[in-house]
């Protein structure tokens, strides 16, 4: 039962343009959402998070949008840079739970 889904295994974007990565979830108990970025041979690194009491959180070039009624979140990267090429994981947790539930990841490639 895949509670967090990233339906696009890969995404290719031109440098300077906007990258939009999408994530859907099914568990209505999830109230905290995060995005992690992973380079080859490294562990995931935290990018940005959002609580369910908000619908938007921004940090520099990165913005996460949450649509609770649709159980959907997205990560926007503007402008995209070559160093953004990596695998991006969406993750979710419920209050009091000890675990993060991850999606399958989306491989983002930024083309010069």
Partner 1 sequence: ETGVTQSPTHLIKTRGQQVTLRCSSQSGHNTVSWYQQALGQGPQFIFQYYREEENGRGNFPPRFSGLQFPNYSSELNVNALELDDSALYLCASSLDGGLRSPLHFGNGTRLTVT
Residues of this chain that interact with partner 1 (CB under 8 A) are: 4, 6, 32, 34, 36, 41-46, 49, 89, 91, 93, 97-105
The CB-of-108 to partner 1 minimum distance in angstroms stands at 15
The CB-of-15 to partner 1 minimum distance in angstroms stands at 26
| Closer CB to partner 1, 32 or 65, in the complex | 32
Integer angstrom CA distances of residue 109 from 5, 11, 84: 20, 6, 8
| Closer CB to partner 1, 8 or 79, in the complex | 8
The CB-of-99 to partner 1 minimum distance in angstroms stands at 4
Distance CA 76, CA 74 (A): 7
User: Which residues neighbour 61 within 8 Å (Cβ) at sequence distance 6 or greater?
Assistant: 77, 78, 79, 81
């Amino acid at each position: 039962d895949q509670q967090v889904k990233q339906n696009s295994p890969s995404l290719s974007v031109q440098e300077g343009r906007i990258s939009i990565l999408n994530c859907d979830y099914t568990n209505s108990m999830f109230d905290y959402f995060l995005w992690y970025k992973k380079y080859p041979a490294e562990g995931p690194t935290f990018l940005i998070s959002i609580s369910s009491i908000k619908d938007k959180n921004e940090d520099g070039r990165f913005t996460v949008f949450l649509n609770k009624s649709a159980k959907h979140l997205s990560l926007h990267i503007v402008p995209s840079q070559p160093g953004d090429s990596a695998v991006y994981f969406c993750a979710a947790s419920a209050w009091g739970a000890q675990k993060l539930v991850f999606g399958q990841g989306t491989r983002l490639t930024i083309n010069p």
